[in-house]
Amino acid sequence: MRRPSDLGSGGGRRSLGATDRKPPRLLWVRARLALPIRRVTPPSLAPAASAVASAPTHSVTIYVPTRTSPGPADRLTPAPDASTGQLSAAEHGRDRPPRPSSLRSNVAWMGMILAASTLIPMVTLPHMTRALGAESFGKVVFVQAVMAFAVVFTDYAFSWSGVRDIAGVRGEKAVLSRTFLGIWGAQWVLTLLAGPALMLFAWFHGIGEGDAALYVLGYLGIVIGNTLFPVWFFQGLERMGEIALIQVATRLLSVPAILGLVRSPRDTALALAIQAFVTVLAGALAIAHMRRRGWITWQAPHAVAVIDALRGGSSLFVSKLGISVYTALAPIVLGLTAGTTAVSYFSIADRLRLAGQSLLTPITNALFPRLSHLYAADRAGATRLVARAFAIMLATAASISLGLFVMADVAIRLFGGPAFGAAVPVLRLLAALPLVVGLSNFFGVQVMLTNGRARAFNLILAAAAALGGIAIWPLTRWLGAVGAAVSIVGAECFVTTAMAVYLLRNPRLWRHS
């Protein structure tokens, strides 16, 4: 038996008196009847457990440190009451850790979330393009593109690292609270820093009459709204049903408002104001739901936890930034080189592409936390799930790409009208992306990242960012919206090919031996 002083604080879930290669160092005892908290450090666990259980007049609750896998943080798990053998009502209530939903239900809920964020806005898109016209609609989507690029910095890859960290500690409220507040606090710091930077960009770019309001509303609705709604927290808990209902309900509110109030180019700011109100309302309702369920102990985040969150997501942030150089940056560069009308052509084609590609997102978002857990706990189960999911992903993505290519002309006429005919060749080029991006997400996020291959993942994306960042300027200057599409498709094809080659050279990552 190793001495208690030699033991680490981690370990698995243990019962008193059980032998283990890593027994807990400390036994925490809390008396339920006004006893002070005290720490017991016995030479062995069994005598301490016996002494506590034999206390004649007080019932006690015994906590032993455990560790969730994966994740470095310890947690405290309540043992049964020493006198009754049952958990108290408090442990059965709000302090119980949230139970994850099944993978199938999470996929279904993610589909509803994507319908709220992508498909519901498509209902108002034909009205927006016709009411605002190509130039004013181009202003709206240019501001949205600038704010989406700012979200890359405020999100800081927490949509990946936050999901991973929350999934690793979701079994204990204290550790879950500390992890959530650290990540969320880091997001708010980055969000507050992004505000002045965005205003400086708008000033250097040259704000036209009334354009300042567009930037303010875009910052409020897109940047602050994204931070206020911690989707990564619910993904890590695998509790997508709650936020799906919130997003669908709030997004539906925007449909009658836009259709009834946005009637001419003079209503450009009003269109952004409606969208800002909806996103902020959704975030406020999500936080209220978290408080009602009691999942988090709310307090100011510790500076150390904020710094740890930034450090933990730094490597994945490089990957996110690399992706954004050749995706989110494309409409911004296009607006600077070819004007907002070209941005409107590119944007309507890209929105249709994203609407089709969003059908893949419920699969990928539900798979990531599940595979993160399985690769740590049941590698054979993870490889079996990878094989099944790859077949589904390939068939779905190929069908979406083919449908977009064939229906490009009809889709542009329906959603944009005759004034957006120049967007048809753009959509036919972008139609390849659901297949290409679906494969790269599967190879990179679902397999490489869940196996801890972030360095190779980052190198591939950094190379793609360099190629895309160099190519996008001349291509958009020479070919306009078509050039922006060519640069994105080329960069994504490079990413998918490089990741496929890496996995073929490392078959143990996806094949069970």
Q: What is the pLDDT of residue 164?
A: 78
Where is average pLDDT lowest: 187-196, 312-321, 450-459, 500-509?
A: 312-321
- Alpha carbon distance 392, 39 (integer Å): 53
Closest of 252, 259, 250, 260 to residue 280, by C-alpha: 250
- What type of residue sits at position 259? L
- 185-189, 201-205, 261-265, 443-447: the lowest-pLDDT one: 201-205
The three-state secondary structure class of 405 is: helix
Q: Which residues on neighbouring strands pair with residue 208, listed in sequence order?
A: none
Q: How many alpha carbons fall within 13 Å on the CB side of residue 456?
A: 20
Both structure tokens of 460? 């591939």
Q: Select from 37, 29, 21, 8 the least CA-distant residue to 76.
A: 29
Dist. CA 194–CA 183, nearest whole Å: 17
**186 with 309: CB under 8 angstroms?**
yes
Choose the weakest-confidence range: 191-195, 246-250, 374-378, 498-502: 374-378
The pLDDT assigned to 99 comes to 61
Residue 429 CB contacts under 8 Å (≥ 6 apart), including other chains = 482, 485, 486, 489
Count Cβ atoms within 10 A of the Cβ of residue 334 and give its class: 0-12 exposed, 13-18 middle, 19 or more buried: buried
In DSSP notation, 285-321 reads: HHHHHHHHHT-S---PPPHHHHHHHHHHTHHHHHHHH
Q: Say what the pLDDT of residue 102 is.
A: 61
- Which region among 41-50, 187-196, 269-278 has the lowest average model confidence (pLDDT)? 41-50
The pLDDT of 345-365, averaged and rounded, is 87
Q: Give every CB contact of residue 405 below 8 A, 6+ residues apart in sequence.
A: 428, 431, 432
CA dist 339 and 343 (Å) reads: 7
Take residue 246 and report the two structure tokens written for it: 């919130």
Give 208-235 as a 3 state SS string: CCCHHHHHHHHHHHHHHHHHHCCHHHHH
Question: Which pLDDT band, with edges at 50, 70 and 90, does 398 fall under?
Answer: very high
Q: At what angle do helices 340-357 and 329-338 cross, to 10 degrees?
A: 160
pLDDT at 455 > cutoff 60: yes
Name the percent of the chain lying above pLDDT 90.
Answer: 24
The pTM score is 0.62
Confidence tier at 284 by pLDDT (50, 70, 90):
very high
Mean pLDDT across the chain:
77
Sign of CA dihedral 109, 115, 117, 118: positive
pLDDT at 35 over 50: no
Taking the C-alpha atoms of residue 167 and residue 489, their distance in angstroms, rounded to an integer, is: 33
Q: Which amino acid is at 321?
A: L
Q: Within 10 A of 344 (CB to CB), how many other CB atoms are there?
A: 30
- Which strands sit side by side in the sheet containing 38-40, from one edge to the other? 38-40, 27-31, 60-67, 74-78
Indicate if the pLDDT at residue 169 is higher than 70: yes
pLDDT at 83 over 50: no
Question: Mean of the pLDDT values across residues 359-383?
Answer: 77
Cβ-proximal residues to 425 (8 Å cutoff; 6+ apart), any chain:
482
Q: What is the pLDDT of residue 219?
A: 92
Give the tens place of pLDDT for each residue, 216-226.
999 998 999 99
Q: Are 22 and 7 in contact (CB under 8 A)?
A: yes
Indicate the burial class of 382 (C-beta count within 10 angstroms; 0-12, 13-18, 19 or more): buried
**Signed CA dihedral, 419, 421, 424, 425: sign only:** negative
How many Cα atoms sit within 13 Å of 125 on the Cβ side? 26
Amino acid (one-letter) located at 458: N
User: Is the model's pLDDT at 150 over the cut of 50?
Assistant: yes
Report the pLDDT value the prediction gives residue 208, as an integer from 0 to 100: 58
Name, in order, each residue with C-beta under 8 angstroms of 76's C-beta and a sequence gap of 6 or more. Answer: 28, 63, 64, 65, 66, 172, 174
* Average pLDDT of the segment spanning 68-96: 42
Q: What is the pLDDT of residue 499?
A: 93
In the chain, where the domains are located: 4-88, 101-312
* Helix and strand element counts for the chain (H, E): 22, 4
Spatial separation of the C-alpha atoms in residues 456 and 440, rounded to whole Å: 13
Residue 19, pLDDT above cutoff 50: no
pLDDT of 162 higher than 70? yes
Q: What local confidence, expressed as pLDDT, does residue 446 receive?
A: 85
* Lowest mean pLDDT, pick from 48-62, 129-143, 287-301, 323-337: 48-62
Rounded Cα distance between 351 and 121, Å, is: 10
34 has pLDDT over 90: no
Task: Give the percent of the chain with pLDDT over 70.
Answer: 77
Please say if the pLDDT value at position 260 is more than 60. Answer: yes
User: Can you give the pLDDT at residue 412?
Assistant: 94
With bands split at pLDDT 50, 70 and 90, how would you rate the model's confidence at 483?
very high
Give pLDDT, residue 55: 39
Three-state DSSP string of 136-174? HHHHHHHHHHHHHHHHHHHHCCHHHHHHHHHHHCCCCHH
Helix H or strand E segment including 65:
strand 60-67
Angle between helix axes 379-406 and 408-415 (nearest 10 degrees) is: 80
Residue reference for tokens 């941005």 = 343
Output 454 or 345, whichever has higher pLDDT. Answer: 345
33: DSSP letter = S
State yes or no: pLDDT of 316 exceeds 50.
yes
Residue 433 in contact with residue 401, Cβ under 8 Å? yes
The predicted-structure confidence for 104-134, as pLDDT tens digits, reads as follows 676 677 667 776 677 788 888 889 988 988 8
